[in-house]
Amino acid sequence: MLDLLVRNGTVVTAEGSYPYDVAIQGGKVAAIGPHGTLGEAKETVDAAGKLVLPGLIDPHVHIHHPFKGSFAGDDFTSATRSAAFGGVTTVCDFAIQWDKTKSLTDTCALRKSQFEGQSITDYAFHACLTRSDGETIGELPGLIQGGIPSAKLYMTYSRQGRMSDDAALYEALRLTAQYGGIVGVHAENDAMCYYFSDAFKAAGKTSPHYFPLCKHNLVESEAVNRAIYLAKVTGGNLYIFHLSCKESLDILRKAQDEGVHVYAETCIHYLTMDMSQYDRPDGANFICSPPLRSKADVEALWQGIQEGRIGVVSSDHCGFTLANKATGGNDFTATPNGLPGMETRLPALYTYGVKAGRISLSKMVELLSANPARAFGMYPRKGTLAPGSDGDLVIFDPAEEKVISPAVLHSPVDWNPFDGQTLSGFAQAVYLAGKPIIQDGACLAAPGTGKFVQRDAKAICIFDR
Ligand code: URP
Ligand code: ZN
């Protein structure tokens, strides 16, 4: 007897849409097949008229992110609960080496201990080094082989002690050519970031309007170009986090055509809003790095997605509250960077992507689930619904509409970039390892339900395709 049968729905994977049932046994997908063909189960869920998606993976989130001695407004439980309401069953956060006296390995162990017993969703994290010495770089092979096969390097934020230098990037990429794994970068030219922001500050131009003019497209595209060149010469595996502009996309296209192992994500906000947000009275809330760009950049990113150049849409969630944001006093140089977004990524991509006719349902699943799993060593355990995959799934109602506000979301963060907008397409129920974690508008999972995902460098399969 099967544990669970999700019947009569339309299963959507990256490959297509099928009138299939899904059977779960022991927390894993046991079978998928045409309606009524999979036998009996202890529990049956009727998904007629609904879509059944593999659990979503958000490969770029910052939970409990520090800022000026305090933290963003959500914690490991509340952030992952809100993510689950957004159809997310696995988050990839960052183990950032804030304490440089700690090894990268110990930093990862610390991050794991912070999630343990707290998380609603499954979780993983990228090892984010802030030291550029041989000792730190030398830890990467052990991490890659030990279940954390992705690293992240910041190419900026030197004044916050977060930046790695180009030698570290070169070495990290070289190691991925040898051991597998993948290196992600926050690509912005550090010297330019500070040169321009110092100049704008000296000229008294610190209102949010000036933020995208300060961190303009070249600031990103130069760093993207440099990282790609290092990937090319080393033969390493590179992932560009939050690619946001046309110039970076042009560089990416050329490199991919040359066979460089470079993969890119963009974030939901770069696809759905532009720099005019900074001219709103609450424009400071929209400060994130890279900044929101021009309408032409937004259109270019959609084209990059349609061409398959950009393979992932993440949230880059950072749960700064209105109070956190207000500490900046409307000065872009002092405002905490980052936008909340884990819960609204799915309805926003459905509304602006599928409903607007820009992408298919399968493409949406590819961007939100299959490709994040492929990029970060979780496929096909996650990212699809196939025999042997984890029993993580979303029963998705494309017809449901909500006017976004904190009242309809499930986060302690008291604002959302989509506030006031009507979005369509919401998760009606969410299952993790075959158990419901979201049902009938309630979270059924206790903190600690989500588990650490031990990933496999050999399962990174974005460059084989
Ligand atoms: O502006 C962004 N992307 N914020 C996210 C958190 C960070 O500092 O990287
Ligand atoms: Zn980020």
In three state form, how does the secondary structure of the chain look? CEEEEEECCEEECCCCEECEEEEEECCEEEEEEECCCCCCEEEEEECCCCEEEECEEECCEECCCEECCEECCCCHHHHHHHHHHCCEEEEEEEEECCCCCCCHHHHHHHHHHHHCCCCCCEEEEEEECCCCCHHHHCCHHHHHHCCCCEEEEECCCHHHCCECCHHHHHHHHHHHHHHCCEEEEECCCHHHHHHHHHHHHHCCCCCHHHHHHHCCHHHHHHHHHHHHHHHHHHCCCEEECCCCCHHHHHHHHHHHHCCCCEEEEEEHHHHHCCHHHHHCCCHHHHCCCCCCCCHHHHHHHHHHHHCCCCCEEECCEECCCHHHHHCCCCCCCCCCCCECCCCCHHHHHHHHHHHCCCCCHHHHHHHHHHHHHHHCCCCCCCCCCCCCCECCEEEEEEEEEEECCCCCCCCCCCCCCCCCCEEEEEEEEEEECCEEEEECCEECCCCCCCCECCCCHHHCCCCCC
41-46 sheet: strands from edge to edge: 28-34, 20-25, 2-7, 41-46
Looking at the predicted structure, is the pLDDT value of residue 465 above 80?
no
Please state, as a whole number, how many other Cβ atoms lie within 10 Å of the Cβ of residue 455. Answer: 24
Q: How far is the CA of 337 from the centre of ligand 1 (A)?
A: 5
- Give, using CA atoms, the residue closest to atom 8 of ligand 1: 337
Q: What is the pTM of this model?
A: 0.98
Looking at the predicted structure, is the pLDDT value of residue 233 above 80?
yes
Ligand 1 nearest-atom number relative to CA 157:
8
What pLDDT was estimated at residue 52? 99
What pLDDT was estimated at residue 226? 99
- Give, using CA atoms, the residue closest to atom 6 of ligand 1: 338
* Region of residue 276 (phi > 0: left; psi between -120 and 50: alpha; otherwise: beta): alpha
Pocket test for ligand 1, best of 58, 60, 61, 62 (most atoms within 8 A of CB): 62
Q: How far is the CA of 288 from the centre of ligand 1 (A)?
A: 6
Q: How far is the CA of 145 from the centre of ligand 1 (A)?
A: 28
Question: Measuring from each residue's beta carbon to the nearest atom of ligand 1, which residues come in under 6 Å?
Answer: 62, 65, 288-289, 316, 318, 337-338
Average of pLDDT values for 362-389?
Answer: 98
Q: How far is the CA of 372 from the centre of ligand 2 (A)?
A: 15
Single-letter residue type at 283: G
- Express each pLDDT in 376-419 by its tens digit: 999 999 999 999 999 999 999 999 999 999 999 999 999 999 99
- Express each pLDDT in 169-195 by its tens digit: 999 999 999 999 999 999 999 999 999
- Express each pLDDT in 23-77 by its tens digit: 999 999 999 999 999 999 999 999 999 999 999 999 999 999 998 788 999 999 9
What pLDDT was estimated at residue 464? 81
Pocket test for ligand 1, best of 316, 335, 339 (most atoms within 8 A of CB): 316
